[in-house]
């Protein structure tokens, strides 16, 4: 066989280019100077209202590419087996069809290059659905790369592309002129000595802060390039009693809106990383970032833990570089920092107010206020954990307060991809982790900030693609990093003079957690926390006061926070449940655990208590859960068995018999009841698709569908190729319970188009269009005819249901759907309106109302 990866080069350009041109509309003159950018989707010839080719023609293009490639290989060096050509053609046709959904501009696509462009197309193609062998997949990849190369070459030769590139170059030149104007306004006349040092200092900043340090990894501390690992998060104005939150703004833009900002963020939320990014960006002198407020400025990174060590005084500007041990501090010209600040060119990045002792924070506030007043017009970013300083701590000095937001689902996916790219890890490892995060509740709860996401990435990679096999081990690894290793690896001195051993921190935190759980609370008064710590101190080897211990736990553990003045809670509920269940087992509070097992908020506490318990204790818990006689108790026992390190065969059999009457459900009603009783834990008990007949598969799908969660969606993916039409209909009907775009991509795109789906708004229509359209659509509620005719893929539609709350006023528009055969109208229509429907369409309506 010929090596598939070299085959694409054998296909002559004279063959590929004419095929590629068929996919796109004819060239048009002009620079396409429109309000919206020119997108690839608007250039393809098989979408939109004026189609030059049909989806069938796209298949013909793919078929011809495959045929030509195999012919070029010759009869002896065939890259794939004869029976695999059809699968490759189908996969390639599907991928080329994605061109019609791309929102990227043609000039941006050319800038990507053929490899990255092909990668974007491939990422949207579910290759597993086509059953390609390894050789067939390599063959597909090379054909896609070859096609992408010619597609981009075709774009670059279009007259509209050339004109648009000239326009882009003109706009870039205008931006350069604007940048120069800003520089001329901001940069004073400098001595050659100042200018030379400033250049060396900028290089030092880029070198010193150009990597992102990840702490707490089992394999040691790792550093990744900042430009590839940095993740843009959002900040919001979040002030209690001031009307709620403001609109979010990208964190790197906060200094564009305000000259002076106090930015709060929980442990590991990305505050220090933001400081690094702003410093490197300001020092880069490239000005391609579009942040005009940073142009021509000089960054000063001032980590509070370094500039205010015990016995040290806060530095004056001329000593900034010495205070942070800058190796070129001795070279700076006398008065240089003051000249920069007088010219209003400084970016002062004061990181970690929480990392200095509480009795030094007042002097730090006076220092900040005096500097800001003495040198006005500079940019200031001061960071702190939320509870370290009170609200409006710097308001009198003119600072605006904002808070870093938790990571979104998209942020988590971006972080995981970039982390693995920066670490040089295999892309599939990151994909595997993302799948685990999205389908495992406890991981999803943990992945809320860069620190926790980095911890999950590190644990996953260090274990060769596998996270700890049980939740208990996962939480233990996370707690070790947060409570013991992170500050030690950062070389951080104890800011409050209190060093609490790891085991002692665990004892104190679990007392706080168990109190919250027992009392059904999500937060406690600060006075209650101090009382609990005071009671525990006589038994602990600590000489500090309860106030000092509380402050240390609050600021350094990364697990506690003060959401409001005088209140404290756990940052992650999952850690509260883990620590509380640990103490419950130590205190032998099994009756209390089992008496609350029917409550949803106690589910994780009971399961984790089984994990902490000794074998005989765990067995008694499992038996008593089944003996409660409730569906909830039986399901909880079945879900808890994997948590126990050791279970006697008799107990295991007792639990299995108890759950056998519930799983799998035997009817739709039983499926709904099972979902209500078990919640998310039922997913681990439902049998896989391969073990079910058509009848049982339908009700298992119904059970998972009732949950509507992302974990449930992942479970349902195993049924999307199921041959039963009843299963397919049940999957299609479940769409409204899930995220519409994700469900359309992960489930609907793999189903036969004949199953009916329900559409409620234009977002639903867009989602269906993104996967190539649908055959049987039921429109619920009011609609605009224009939306239906523009957004429904016309060739796909064969059946349409209209459940408008008002009578349909006309049906002539149905003629735009060439393959539409049947329309069901739920509202009354007149005979004249009914006659507007094309003759080929069977119109089903209720009889008109008669008096």
**φ, ψ for residue 208 (rounded to 5)?**
-75, -40
pLDDT tens figures, 591-639: 999 999 888 778 889 999 999 999 999 999 999 998 988 888 888 888 8
Residues near 4 by Cβ (< 8 Å), separated by ≥ 6? 79, 80, 135, 138, 139, 141, 142
- Please tell me the predicted confidence (pLDDT) of residue 328: 93
d(CA 106, CA 100): 13
Q: Which residues are CB-neighbours of 129 under 8 A, at least 6 positions away?
A: 721, 750
Rounded-to-integer distance, Cα 800 and Cα 798, Å: 7
551 vs 547: CA distance, rounded Å: 6
Under 8 Å CB-to-CB from 628, ≥6 apart: which residues? 594, 597, 598, 634
User: What percent of the chain stands above pLDDT 90?
Assistant: 17
> Is 223 within 8 Å of 214 (Cβ atoms)?
yes
Specify the range with the lowest mean pLDDT, choosing from 72-86, 235-249, 556-570. 235-249
Dist CA 341 CA 262 (whole Å): 19
The per-residue pLDDT for 375 is 94
Model confidence band, residue 493 (pLDDT cutoffs 50, 70, 90): low
Structure tokens at 590: 């099994």
The CA–CA distances, whole Å, from 736 to 702, 706, 746 equal 13, 11, 14
Dist CA 493 CA 482 (whole Å): 16
Identify the helix (H) or strand (E) that includes residue 244: strand 244-245
Q: Identify which of 449-463, 528-542, 636-650, 745-759 has the greatest average pLDDT.
A: 528-542
Report the chain's mean pLDDT, rounded to a whole number: 78
Helices (H), 679-760: 694-707, 710-716, 725-733, 740-746
User: Residue 524: enclosing H or E segment and its boundaries?
Assistant: strand 524-525
Q: What are the beta bridge partners of residue 112?
A: none
How confident is the model over 423-438, as a mean pLDDT?
Answer: 79
Angle between helices 694-707 and 668-678 (to 10 degrees): 40
CB 55 within 8 A of CB 795: yes
CA atoms within 13 A on the CB side of 371: 29
- Give the C-alpha separation, 640 to 114, whole Å: 50
pLDDT (average), residues 126-154: 79
pLDDT digits (tens, 9 = 90+) for 507-521: 999 999 999 999 988
Q: Which residues, 6+ apart, have CB-to-CB distance to 583 below 8 Å?
A: 510, 511, 513, 514
Q: pLDDT-derived band of residue 804, with 50, 70 and 90 as boundaries?
A: low
Give the per-residue pLDDT at 48. 45
Average pLDDT on 12-33 reads 53
pLDDT at 410 over 80: no
The predicted-structure confidence for 45-71, as pLDDT tens digits, reads as follows 444 433 444 556 677 778 888 887 887
Pairing assessment for the beta strands 524-525 and 567-570 based on DSSP bridges: antiparallel
Q: What is the mean pLDDT of residues 497-501?
A: 74
Cis ω for the linkage preceding 664 (within 30 of 0): yes
pTM across the whole model: 0.52
Q: Which residues contact 635 (CB under 8 A, 6 or more apart)?
A: 659, 662, 663, 674, 677, 678, 681, 682, 685
pLDDT band per the 50, 70, 90 thresholds, residue 30: very low
Q: Which of 152-166, 658-672, 788-802 has the highest mean pLDDT?
A: 788-802
Ramachandran sector of residue 659 (left: φ over 0; alpha: ψ -120 to 50; beta: rest)? alpha
Dist. CA 703–CA 25, nearest whole Å: 47
From residue 649, alpha-carbon distances to 214, 654, 796 in Å are 45, 9, 56
Indicate left, alpha or beta for 830 from its phi (over 0: left) and psi (-120 to 50: alpha). beta
pLDDT band per the 50, 70, 90 thresholds, residue 694: confident
722 and 728 Cβ atoms separated by less than 8 Å:
yes
Alpha-helical runs (H) found in 537-648: 546-556, 573-586, 590-595, 603-612, 615-627, 631-640
| β-bridge mates for residue 300, sequence order | 348
The pLDDT confidence band at residue 123, using thresholds 50, 70 and 90, is confident
Report pLDDT for 167: 57
Question: pLDDT (tens digit, 9 = 90+) per residue, 198-217?
Answer: 889 999 998 888 877 654 44
- C-alpha to C-alpha distances, 409 to 53, 264, 386, 406, 458, nearest whole angstrom: 37, 21, 23, 10, 19
Q: Is 91 exposed, middle or buried (0-12, 13-18, 19+ CB in 10 A)?
A: buried
Q: Which of 30-34, 106-110, 156-160, 787-791 has the highest mean pLDDT?
A: 787-791
Nearest-angstrom CA–CA distance, 20 and 114: 14
Q: What is the pLDDT of residue 15?
A: 52
Angle among Cα 435, 474, 451 to the nearest 5 degrees reads 75
pLDDT of residue 243: 37
Contact 655, 622 (CB under 8 A): yes
User: Is the separation of the CB atoms in 582 and 475 below 8 Å?
Assistant: no
Q: What percent of the chain has pLDDT over 70?
A: 77
């Amino acid at each position: 066989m010929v090596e598939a990866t070299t085959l694409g080069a054998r296909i002559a350009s004279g063959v590929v280019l004419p095929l590629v041109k068929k996919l796109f509309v004819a060239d048009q003159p002009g620079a396409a100077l429109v309000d919206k950018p020119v997108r690839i989707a608007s250039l393809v010839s098989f979408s939109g209202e004026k189609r030059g080719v049909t989806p069938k023609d796209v298949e013909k293009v793919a078929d011809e590419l495959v045929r030509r490639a195999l012919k070029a290989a010759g009869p002896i060096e065939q890259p794939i087996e004869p029976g695999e050509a059809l699968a490759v053609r189908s996969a390639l046709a599907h991928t080329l069809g994605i061109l019609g959904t791309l929102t990227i501009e043609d000039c941006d696509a050319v800038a990507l290059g053929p490899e990255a462009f092909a990668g974007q197309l491939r990422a949207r193609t579910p290759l597993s659905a086509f059953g390609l062998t390894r050789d067939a997949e390599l063959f597909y990849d090379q054909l896609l790369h070859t096609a992408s190369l010619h597609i981009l070459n075709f774009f670059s030769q279009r007259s509209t592309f050339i004109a648009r590139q000239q326009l882009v170059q003109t706009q870039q030149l205008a931006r350069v002129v604007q940048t120069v104007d800003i520089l001329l306004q901001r940069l004073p006349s400098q001595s050659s000595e100042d200018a030379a040092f400033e250049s060396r200092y900028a290089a030092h900043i880029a070198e010193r802060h150009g990597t992102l340090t990840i702490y707490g990894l089992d394999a040691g501390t790792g550093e990744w390039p900042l430009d590839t690992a940095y993740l843009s998060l959002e900040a919001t104005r979040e002030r209690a009693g001031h009307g709620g939150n403001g609109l979010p703004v990208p964190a790197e833009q906060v200094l564009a809106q305000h000259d002076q900002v106090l930015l709060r963020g929980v442990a590991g939320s990305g505050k220090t990383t933001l400081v690094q990014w702003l410093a490197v960006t300001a020092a880069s002198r490239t000005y391609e970032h579009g942040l005009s407020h940073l142009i021509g400025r000089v960054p000063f990174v001032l980590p509070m833990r370094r500039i205010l060590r015990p016995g040290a005084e806060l530095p004056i500007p001329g000593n900034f570089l010495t205070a942070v041990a800058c190796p070129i501090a001795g070279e700076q010209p006398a008065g240089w920092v003051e000249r920069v600040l007088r010219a209003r060119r400084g970016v002062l990045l004061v990181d970690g107010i929480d990392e200095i002792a509480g009795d030094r924070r007042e002097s730090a506030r006076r220092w900040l206020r005096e500097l800001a007043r003495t040198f006005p017009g500079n940019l200031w970013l001061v960071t702190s954990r939320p509870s370290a300083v009170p609200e409006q701590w710097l308001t009198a000095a003119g600072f605006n307060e904002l808070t870093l937001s938790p990571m979104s689902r998209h942020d988590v996916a971006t972080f995981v991809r970039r982390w693995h790219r920066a670490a040089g890890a295999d892309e599939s490892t990151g994909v595997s982790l993302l799948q685990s995060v999205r389908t495992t509740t406890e991981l999803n709860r943990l992945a809320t900030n860069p620190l926790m996401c980095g911890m999950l990435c590190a644990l996953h990679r260090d274990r060769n693609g596998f996270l700890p096999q049980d939740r208990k081990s996962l939480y233990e690894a996370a707690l070790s990093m947060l409570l013991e290793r992170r500050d030690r690896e950062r070389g951080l001195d104890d800011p409050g003079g209190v060093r609490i051993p790891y085991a002692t921190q665990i004892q104190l935190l679990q007392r706080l957690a168990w109190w919250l759980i027992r009392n059904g609370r999500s937060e406690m008064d600060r006075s209650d926390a101090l009382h609990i710590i005071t009671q525990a101190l006589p038994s602990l080897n600590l000489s500090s006061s309860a106030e000092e211990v509380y402050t240390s736990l609050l600021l350094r553990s990364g697990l506690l926070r003060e959401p409001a003045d005088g209140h404290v809670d756990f940052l992650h509920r999952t850690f509260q449940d883990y620590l509380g269940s640990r103490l419950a087992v130590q205190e032998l509070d099994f009756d209390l655990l089992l008496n609350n097992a029917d409550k949803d908020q106690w589910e994780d506490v009971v399961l984790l208590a089984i994990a902490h318990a000794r074998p005989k204790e765990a067995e008694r818990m499992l038996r008593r859960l089944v003996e409660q006689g409730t569906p909830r108790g039986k399901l909880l026992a079945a879900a808890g068995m994997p948590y126990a390190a050791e279970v006697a065969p008799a107990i295991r059999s007792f639990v299995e018999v108890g759950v056998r009457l519930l799983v799998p459900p035997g009817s739709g009603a039983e499926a709904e009841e099972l979902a209500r009783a078990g919640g998310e834990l039922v997913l681990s008990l439902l049998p896989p698709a391969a073990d079910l007949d058509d009848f049982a598969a339908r009700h298992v799908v119904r059970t998972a569908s009732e949950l509507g969660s992302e974990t449930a969606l992942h479970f349902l993916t195993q049924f999307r190729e199921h041959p039963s039409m009843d299963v397919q209909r049940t999957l299609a009907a479940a769409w409204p319970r899930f995220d519409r775009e994700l469900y359309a991509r992960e489930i609907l795109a793999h189903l036969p188009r004949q199953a009916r789906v329900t559409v409620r708004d234009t977002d639903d229509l867009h989602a269906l269009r993104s996967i190539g359209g649908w055959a049987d659509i039921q429109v619920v509620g009011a609609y605009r005819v224009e939306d239906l005719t523009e957004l429904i893929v016309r060739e796909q539609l064969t059946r349409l249901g209209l459940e408008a709350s008002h009578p349909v006023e006309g049906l002539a528009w149905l003629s735009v759907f060439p393959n539409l055969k049947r329309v069901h109208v739920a509202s009354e229509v007149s005979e004249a309106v009914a006659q507007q429907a094309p003759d080929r369409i069977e119109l089903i309506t209720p009889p008109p109302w008669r008096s």
